[in-house]
A and B are shown apart, each in its own frame.
Chain A
């Protein structure tokens, strides 16, 4: 389990790495950040880049900015920071919850947000969370500058994204949790830290009367990419009762097309995860609404 020979260079700045990628028309140069997936694949000789540019030390991308209705996250932020940062926990609780489910602490200390999104494992937590939240992925290249790609269009298929060989992810704009909103994240894995068998994340918005005013939900491990599911019209204006979420969970998970050995089982678990996540989101939104009422 040793990789083939490769060249390695530590990038000094974003401009530096973009230039590096721009000057390699072969597309052989790969960007290394936390190395938690790429280095494993290289050791297994399943990935064989001839050249690595390491952006893991780029502090300019290891920052986050609190904006009015969103938080902008730098792509080299480590999972562990997403999990523990008080601002992210308050403003992006779904992201923090998703990050907590990634591997083990050692992995989370190294792995980066941009790395997880660029790797595009359909069973990964952060891609699914970004799709559920309707985040925007900002990518940059030396020749074409910055592009903004909505998360659900960024993920194309198995380990494949809209990222071009000369581009890197620089920032991710994530809508912050608003008033009257609640979130849910549920994942089923054989052991804590394992690849998930099934999982769901969602954000639910209520109106002042407690009726559903908006919902976004996504599934992991349910297809060749993180899957945005559900038609908000199915529930718009409804006053949720206990039966609604299991009905909707099962219905929306029907779109799931899992890849593994037991697709029926996984699809059923997707429905369960979604049901649980929607229920949790509703409880949180309801608590936000009642605390507003009492205020």
Chain B
């Protein structure tokens, strides 16, 4: 019988790398705003 679900290796599919890139893009927005706060 054909398997209905196949497991993939998150490393082999570069899933982790995509996740890191997404996290980077999320953080860079906050980081950019944080860096550009005017000195007090």
Tell me, yes or no, whether A binds B: no
Listed in ascending order, the chain A residues whose CB lies under 8 Å from chain B are none
